[in-house]
Chain A
Amino acid sequence: MSLVGASPAELQAAARELDEAAAWVDASGRDLSNSLGALSWAGAAALAFTDVWSTRHKPALQSTSAYLRDHANRLRQQAQQQLDASSGAGAASSIGKGGAASGGGEPTRPPYGPRPAGNKAWWDSLGDRQAWVEKHHPEWIGNMDGVPADVRDRANRAILDSRIKALAEDIAAQGAGSDSPLMHTFLELTAVREALKCTQSNGQTITDRQLLLLDDSGPIVRAAISCGLANVSEHVSVYTPGMDTTAADLVDKVRDMDKLRSTAQSMNQGSVATVVWLGYQTPNGYDATDLGLAQAGAGPLESFLTGINTSRPDGVHLTALGHSYGSTTTALAIDRLEPGVVDQAVFFGSPGLANADLSAVGGESYFLEARGDGVADAGSVNSASGAAAGGGIGYVLGGPGGAAVGAAVGGALGSATKAEMAEFGGDPAKDARLVHLSSEGSRGHSAYLDPGSVSQTNIAAVITGNPYGIRQG
């Protein structure tokens, strides 16, 4: 930070101003959410504002608030550093970055698209030139499956910062509107940055997150974040979420992974890292009956899982977790996996596993279905009436202002019935390959990862390879 002539008191005052502005932004967002929540669905629909609020303005306000607080914290740190320096306690530390090793000439980019084992071989071959690649070409290695997770994290964080800055400048230069693709990408990237620095309930900053995937080259931002260190933890899980999940939801998803990790760590079976993988485009409710996006996501997920495993010659106990449509994607990825990469799989709230071959899973494949989970019930649409399954989906999705959307999706699934749901395979509840785990006490489609629930405890037990902690349903 470069600051000229500002005293610690001035810096602290400026920090307070930014915090105050952030609090105002938060309060405005809450007030508007409450006002909208008081409307009936029909009333809200008449305003044509609910969608634009939830998809654009609300995330934008959250991003603004985070931005203001982030800079307030930086100002406070700067003030503290000045105080420390003037008291003589902390002599200014010069950051001595070692010169990039240059032995053997500049490395060249590896051939595009090799398998993770080939990537690992290339990375290992670089020797002391790895630092040069990290510094000059983070874009080569950030998403390279087979490269160690800590290296990918450093590369992707560097890319993230520079992309946010570049996008902000482009948006300003072009005068791009808040509904422009540039702004959309900007908001998703700032959400990724926010998810990387989520804090625990006691306010302590969590520092052991890793950004294992970052790609904003397409219409959506693809990202994967690990809670815990995926390059050294004994147990690693990779969770693939389902429909209507975007990078803007990563703050919430990472929070779920934090809590899952806490539960798993408390079992004293060794260190745990829980990854949320959003490396594919999830369907929105309207096209959730189409397998296409799950099939498109299966290849990248297979490569990612193989990459985690390949980059860990020390061995890692790896579990694939899939929720909702993400369970279908996970099953299709497992179908492509070499045996021995994934040790276990857990499918929860699953509409179906698309007739995937699960034999590559080294250990067991598990299954959870909570009471009143309409999405999971859709898997049984072949035997149930379409209208009943549709009603179930409508109930599940019927959040604030979403009742009509839910009903529409329910209708779509209801009319899809056998023809479309057949693609998803049979009802996973009747799949003899799966070990059923209890989700006692949970209701609906979105409570499986609630802290302290039977379902979350069971999933954590699988992750840690602790069969004694598992309660069968």
Chain B
Amino acid sequence: MSNMIGADIAALRSFAQRATARSQEIDARIAQLQVRIEALPWTGSDREQFLAEWSVHHRSLVDLARDLADAGQRAFRHADDQEHASGGPSGGSGW
């Protein structure tokens, strides 16, 4: 059982790191993408439609970056909490 908890804590920390890194990467990458997409050689109504749809995808990516940052923070916190609980004087229990 304690091995399971240990594995969970390690997986949580690993997820927290990746989620945080991905969140930052997405933030950075969105800005680059926006510039490149604005620079694409569409014109007229094609351009309007392309950009209108892109704005939706853009928003999805922004939301994903935000939710990932939140989830990463929570994962760090839960990993810490679990470590304290399992190593504490009462011996603690898993989820």
Is B60 touching A60 in the complex (CB atoms < 8 A)?
yes
A219 at the interface (CB under 8 A from B): no
In the complex, are the beta carbons of A71 and B49 less than 8 A apart?
no
Taking CB atoms, residues of chain B closer than 8 Å to A92 are none
**B78: A residues at CB distance < 8 A:** 43, 46-47
Considering only CB atoms and an 8 Å cut-off, how many residues of chain A contact the other chain?
51
| Contacting pair B64 A35 (CB below 8 A) | no
CB distance from B70 to the nearest CB of A (A): 8
Q: A43-B95, A47-B71, A57-B60 are in contact. Are A169 and B52 (CB under 8 A)?
A: yes
User: In the complex, which residues of chain B have a beta carbon less than 8 angstroms from the beta carbon of A23?
Assistant: none
A171→B56 CA distance, assembly (Å): 7
- A124 is an interface residue with CB less than 8 A from chain B: no
Q: Give A1-35 interface residues, CB cut-off 8 Å to B.
A: 1-6, 10-11, 14, 17-18, 21, 24, 28, 31-32, 35
B83 at interface by CB-CB < 8 Å? no
Q: Choose one: B22, B47, B49, B71; the contact of A49 (CB below 8 Å).
A: B71
Interface of A is mostly: helix
Q: A2-B46, A47-B74 are in contact. Are A40 and B4 (CB under 8 A)?
A: yes
A47 contacts which chain B residues (CB < 8 A)? 15, 71, 74-75, 78
CA–CA, A199 and B54, complex, Å = 23
Give residues 27-57 of A contacting B (CB, 8 Å).
28, 31-32, 35-36, 38-40, 42-43, 45-49, 52-53, 56-57
The docked-state distance in angstroms from the alpha carbon of A221 to that of B86 is: 47
Q: Which residue of A lies closest to B4 (CB)?
A: A40
Given the contacts A4-B43, A24-B29, A31-B22, A61 and B56 also touching, CB distance less than 8 Å: no
Among B45, B94, B95, residue most surrounded by chain A Cβ atoms (within 10 Å): B95
**Contact yes or no, B60 A172, CB < 8 A:** no
- A172-191 CB mask vs B (1 if < 8 Å, else 0) is 10000111000100100000
Q: Are A42 and B55 in contact (CB under 8 A)?
A: no
Q: How far is the CA of A53 from the CA of B75 in the complex (A)?
A: 15
- Judge whether B31 is part of the interface by a CB distance below 8 angstroms: no
Query: Would B12 and A183 count as touching, CB distance under 8 A?
Result: no
Tell me the chain A residues, 47-88 only, with Cβ under 8 Å from chain B.
Answer: 47-49, 52-53, 56-57, 60-61, 63-64, 67, 71, 75
Asked if A57 and B41 make an inter-chain contact with CB atoms under 8 angstroms apart, the answer reads: no
Which residues from chain A contact B44 at a C-beta distance below 8 Å?
2
Contact A39 B45 (CB under 8 A): no
**Closest Cβ–Cβ distance, residue B9 to chain A (whole Å):** 8
How many residues of chain B have a CB within 8 Å of chain A? Answer: 45
Contact A17 B36 (CB under 8 A): yes
CB of B11, distance to nearest CB on chain A (Å): 5
Q: Does A165 touch B at the CB level, under 8 Å?
A: yes
The reply to whether the CB of B24 lies closer than 8 angstroms to some CB of chain A is no
Whether, in the assembled complex, A168 has its beta carbon less than 8 Å from a beta carbon of chain B, the answer is yes
* Given A2-B43, A39-B12: A46 in contact with B59 (beta carbons within 8 A): no
Query: A388 interface residue, CB < 8 Å from B?
Result: no
A272 to chain B, nearest CB (A): 35
Other than A3-B46, A39-B15, give 20 A-B pairs with Cβ distance below 8 A. A1-B46, A2-B47, A14-B40, A31-B22, A32-B18, A35-B18, A35-B19, A43-B8, A46-B75, A47-B74, A48-B74, A49-B68, A49-B74, A60-B64, A75-B41, A165-B49, A165-B53, A171-B59, A178-B64, A186-B56
Sort A-B residue pairs by CB-CB distance and give the 10 closest, nearest first: A42-B95, A6-B41, A49-B71, A60-B60, A178-B63, A64-B57, A2-B44, A168-B52, A172-B55, A168-B53
The chain A residues found within 8 Å of chain B, CB to CB, are 1-6, 10-11, 14, 17-18, 21, 24, 28, 31-32, 35-36, 38-40, 42-43, 45-49, 52-53, 56-57, 60-61, 63-64, 67, 71, 75, 164-165, 167-169, 171-172, 177-179, 183, 186
